[in-house]
Structure 1
């Protein structure tokens, strides 16, 4: 950055005299709120002069000169109208602009009442709708010229996570990370639209308590409009915020990214404060608190799948071809061997795998002469399992069925492995237990596993963070995952981002969030007892004895209690 140039009235006077002598006699004075990235001056009563304060802002000059005259006729409010462009000189090394003067005061210098804010909310929403709809052909994509505004929120991922860590004394870190993860996991799936890039109160001109103009288009470009929505929290409040949002027709994911942009900006502003106290700090904290509260409210109401309100891993349905990549690994064989050992101890012959996925446990047990059937709610995963069986020339039955209601027969054992029960709410697991009991023979056993809530610490949650790359059939799959836990509810929530790289194709990006309901050993014992199961064994997933405060997982072998109900005629009556 160049710091030696003194941008003042004297410099501007020299530039005007040298390059635009027709205006040399007009008075020049600084604008009170002249900005930081650019310096603004009055030129007479009808023009303004705008000079970049550093080299990184120079790219914006020609962009505004080219595009603003094309866009202006299609907007419901005035925007800056370029009149001339100044050239570099000995006094000043960059291009600069002269605009028609726009009437109004900067909104950040005014005290506006609720009624006036509500009117401005409608006006600004109408302006943004029109701006977003203007033809984007040939327009500039996000880049250095606009600090990547209109790019995906994740462009600031590393910086945001660093800011969260740095400012952990001022914010709720878990909530901030959760909000940010939801933001970067969401996608703008529509065509790129025009984006202002810096819709802030300082760039809104107000006259007579009405929005009179929108200025400073230096960060404009095309892409995702989410960054234009941050003003919902940085300027509007209460009813005006709701009115602004209601007059813009964006989906929940776009608002999730908007909350991410707003939090990033507030964190950045706090980091720039020399003194971390006072009104400015309080204002930025208020913004962060507001977006976090909205994020938490949206998490409470979101449900991507009515049958699975906790959500599901994306590879269960949308990306089944990558299921084995994410779920079958070097540990799978050891876990399968443990399951088989436990089945052997219980003298089991017939097995129903109620959550078989693509059949890992089913094939393992079939090869060891168990009579085994696989069932899963996902038709896509069942199709893959059937194809595997056909390729192996194995006559194995795979059935589409939900563990909460499928009726297949009576078995010596039922298994649901690899945290499968976690995809059910507590109420649904109770329903599933009743159905499992109905599919078991008397004294049959149910074997399942789940994360152990008592032993999962914040350090362990941090270890769940995943950034792995694998290759499947020539396709590169990059998976990033982050998790957090709500200890009050026992919900372990994971956020995934998959990037799929195929030769000759544009990268595909898929994002998803889902939760696992996890339990303590005591909670599981109570649920099993209520459904007439008795626990006959508790293990760690490595096969050792379960330790409540140390075992990351709990694997349970539970026996269906045999309850003989005597009929009235069988009751002994002494004579």
Structure 2
């Protein structure tokens, strides 16, 4: 999820068929159906087992390259399914960016389930996080918007601006309650450990739940990077209510102890990312409920 992306070229099922005919002819003839128009990618179902991902803009194309490059290496170490690349296409006269065909993970996004009903995936998501958060190589992708310090002028300015937007939208009391929490949490001691692998966008729209309510997969790896694990641990507030959060944190602490400062930074990341989810309600109305859920959960936390 890039910061304030702008829409790129139009897409359609016809465009997908054209790209497949040009660059992945073995996949021609399978049904193509629009799946979603996300922050960074347009996605289309391809048959029963695949998804076509078309970056929406130049910044998303750069994230797409990281996803395609690193998921095949990360996948085997993880405890849940990831959308592994099946085919990778390049720019053409019909579409200006690289694109890919990836495996489809059956299920529904966690955001489609009320937070109180996400409890069954809490321990699974903790296990996934533990399996991902291992030391990353020095040549891991760099993402300036994920995994670094939030105690910077740029991050602080973005959050304050979005809190002001929140207040103007009729939620002044919530914004006033969150500001001192942001000021305290964002100035927790900086991460001083070895950079670990991060998903970078671990919110309920990127978490797939199976028919049994358990974790079925984690998708949308464009923000993959290395850095402070607190960035991903923000999912404790983005995804869960108090009960699910307790199960998530307890399970994580069993095999991957987390120091108190990291949990404080995780609250700051959850506040930051919750505001991002709220930032474009006209274009992405389905993200609003998830952003509001996170902010409501954080409001209940002590400063």
Same fold flag (TM > 0.5):
yes
Indicate how the Cα distance of structure 1 residues 273 and 81 shifts in structure 2: closer, same or farther if over 3 A, else same: closer
Task: Please list, as runs of the form range in 1=range in 2, the aligned pairs for 1:249-398 lying within 5 A after superposition.
Answer: 249-273=257-281, 284-296=291-303
Q: Within the alignment, does 1:25 sit opposite 2:29 as a pair?
A: yes
Indicate how the Cα distance of structure 1 residues 264 and 3 shifts in structure 2: closer, same or farther if over 3 A, else same: closer
Greater RCO, 1 or 2 (C-alpha within 8 Å, sep 6+): 2
What secondary structure, in the 3-state scheme, does the structure 1 residue paired with 2:273 have? helix
Q: 1:59 aligns to what?
A: 62
How many residues in Structure 1 have an aligned counterpart in Structure 2? 287
Q: 1:110 aligns to what?
A: 113
Q: Deviations over 1:209-236 (max 9, x none)?
A: 1111111110010001112122212221
TM-score, normalised relative to structure 2? 0.85
Cα separation, 2, equivalents of 1:219 and 1:44: 26
Cα separation, 2, equivalents of 1:281 and 1:213: 22
Offset at 1:173? 5.2
Contact map agreement 1:71 1:134 (CA 8 A) in 2: no
Indicate how the Cα distance of structure 1 residues 279 and 48 shifts in structure 2: closer, same or farther if over 3 A, else same: closer
Cα separation, 2, equivalents of 1:26 and 1:6: 21
Indicate how the Cα distance of structure 1 residues 134 and 44 shifts in structure 2: closer, same or farther if over 3 A, else same: farther
Offset at 1:162? 2.3
81, 85, 88: which one aligns with 1:85: 88
129, 150, 153: which one aligns with 2:147: 150
Q: Deviations over 1:123-172 (max 9, x none)?
A: 000000110015434212333xxxx2111123411111222334345235
Offset at 1:39? 1.2
Indicate how the Cα distance of structure 1 residues 223 and 3 shifts in structure 2: closer, same or farther if over 3 A, else same: closer
Cα separation, 1, equivalents of 2:121 and 2:158: 33
What secondary structure, in the 3-state scheme, does the structure 1 residue paired with 2:97 have? coil
Cα separation, 2, equivalents of 1:280 and 1:62: 25
Task: Please list, as runs of the form range in 1=range in 2, the aligned pairs for 1:1-20 lying within 5 A after superposition.
Answer: 3=7, 5-20=9-24
Q: 1:199 aligns to what?
A: 202
TM-score, normalised relative to structure 1? 0.47
Contact map agreement 1:74 1:134 (CA 8 A) in 2: no
Q: 1:132 aligns to what?
A: 133
Q: Within the alignment, does 1:231 sit opposite 2:235 as a pair?
A: yes
Offset at 1:77? 0.8
